[in-house]
Copies of this chain bind each other. A is one copy, B any other.
Amino acid sequence: MITINNIKDISLAPSGAQKIEWVRKHMPILARIESDFAKTRPLDGVRVAISVHLEAKTARLAYAVRAAGAEVAVTGCNVLSTQDDVAAALAADGFAVNGWYGATEEEYKQHLINTLEIKPHVIIDDGGDLLNLLDERPDLGEFLWGGCEETTTGIVRIRARERDGSLKFPMIAVNDANCKYLFDNRYGTGQSVWDGINRTTNLIVAGKTVVVAGYGWCGKGIAMRAKGQGAKVVVTEIDPIKAIEAHMDGFDVAPMLDAAAVGDIFITATGCKDVIRREHFEVMKSGAILCNAGHFDVEISKPDLGTDSVDIKPNIRLHKIGENKGKELCLLADGRLVNLAAGDGHPAEIMDMSFAIQALSVAYVAENREKLEAKMYNVPREIDEYVARLKLAAMGIGIDSLTDEQRQYLDGAES
């Protein structure tokens, strides 16, 4: 077993261990899977490389995978979301860990390479950085059976690879499982984005005009929680059907240029770039708050914000723009995922579902490695339903099942 640990400070391990213990109490599905895995050992001798936001919930995923018999190497997927104490706790407990908060681009890449040096059979990717690196270093993928992708952005990249023929092994679209996107993207993002904004700004949300760019599941969650705090919401979209949904949900819908002029707080959740840019900054009110909930820090154009700026509070930078620099725009968390860079990411119970899907999908890749082709697969419906049933059981919630007569009725569909 290769244990390459590049972490900040091993002495932070106790603090990290406490964080992991706290989330463990709130991730019963993963605990159940861990316990099952410990008996069935579906990953005995398998090597798994994980590149996911390196904080306490991710640590629980690493434990579950290890309990299945795997050797596990862990790194982050965003330099501002790595928590050094959690990294230390994992390292102290025998995982191969690479990564620290605030790593440079170069350091970050080296951490990915170190992680892949385990020569994984399965990768868990979040955004596609491991996948990209394997183009450059195919040697590190020589034993690879396939992988799992956590987020929308990674899915988009895999689809692009499918189109241009550059996908070399099977990838499971964990993001697209019902138990993931219906909950993680909507309720998880909805709450954690506002946690990040509120703790950072200490400003009232009620009565404010909040502009949400993108009305996908993340945008829906963010808008719902903005309304739940008393805000007025303006949604921007490029898809006419989503635009009407936003309208029917009671939100204003407008092009960004119009929204820019009235917004107090702007939140991007599109997966696209330059969603808010120079032309929009120019019409904004002074004091407007800008932040991003998308995977990359390109949704708000930082080049267009310029460099005349000052950090006024942790995670708040005031950019002075316009004539005589008379307008101030407040960028949170340097335009990175505000829920992770200025908060603690999604609540534990949400990640419990997402990571349960991940853990079971890794086992699925291992078990079906002979059958899977070099394309993107959906998470099997059975895994999705199994996780849903575990979740209901964990909450003590019962549901109905069809009687035989009802089943016949539905099959026959006689009136």
Mark A222-266 against chain B: 1 for CB-CB distance below 8 A, else 0: 000101111110001111110111011111111110100000000
Q: What residues of B have a CB within 8 angstroms of the CB of A250 in the complex? A: 206-207, 227, 230-232
Q: Which of A36-44, A92-100, A364-372, A391-399 contacts B (4 or more CB under 8 A)?
A: A391-399
Question: Bound state CA distance, A273 and B412, in angstroms?
Answer: 12
Question: Bound state CA distance, A194 and B231, in angstroms?
Answer: 16
In the complex, chain A residues 285-307 whose Cβ is within 8 Å of any chain B Cβ: 287, 296, 298
Q: What residues of B have a CB within 8 angstroms of the CB of A409 in the complex? A: 272-273
Interface presence of A415 (CB below 8 A): yes
Interface presence of A182 (CB below 8 A): yes
Which among B22, B127, B243 is the interface contact of A397 at CB below 8 angstroms? B243
Contact in complex: A182, B399 (CB < 8 Å): no
Contact in complex: B204, A399 (CB < 8 Å): no
Question: Bound state CA distance, A288 and B26, in angstroms?
Answer: 11
- Tell whether A316 pairs with B22 under 8 Å between CB atoms, given A244-B183, A344-B202, A406-B274: yes
- In this complex, how many residues of chain A approach chain B with their Cβ under 8 Å: the count is 100
Question: Bound state CA distance, A205 and B221, in angstroms?
Answer: 13
Distance in Å: Cβ of A367 to nearest Cβ of chain B: 23
Distance in Å: Cβ of A258 to nearest Cβ of chain B: 7
Contact in complex: A25, B287 (CB < 8 Å): yes
**Tally of this chain's copies:** 4
Interface presence of A107 (CB below 8 A): no
Q: Which of A113-121, A136-144, A347-355 contacts B (4 or more CB under 8 A)?
A: A347-355
Q: Which of A4-12, A46-54, A59-67, A381-389 contacts B (4 or more CB under 8 A)?
A: A381-389
Which among B25, B182, B248 is the interface contact of A206 at CB below 8 angstroms? B248
Interface presence of A378 (CB below 8 A): no
Question: Bound state CA distance, A253 and B392, in angstroms?
Answer: 10
Interface presence of A178 (CB below 8 A): yes
Interface presence of A199 (CB below 8 A): yes
- Tell whether A240 pairs with B400 under 8 Å between CB atoms, given A252-B232, A313-B22: no
Question: Bound state CA distance, A397 and B395, in angstroms?
Answer: 26
Interface presence of A104 (CB below 8 A): no
- Tell whether A156 pairs with B413 under 8 Å between CB atoms, given A187-B204, A228-B225, A397-B254: yes
Q: Give residues in A with beta carbon < 8 Å to B.
A: 18-19, 21-23, 25-26, 127, 153, 156-157, 159-160, 178-179, 182-183, 186-188, 190-191, 194-195, 198-199, 202-207, 225, 227-232, 236-241, 243-245, 247-256, 258, 271-275, 287, 296, 298, 312-313, 316, 328, 343-345, 347-350, 384-385, 388-389, 391-392, 395, 397-403, 405-406, 409-413, 415
7 additional A-B residue pairs with CB within 8 Å, beyond A186-B248, A244-B391, A254-B397: A19-B313, A191-B229, A195-B199, A228-B228, A230-B250, A254-B398, A274-B406
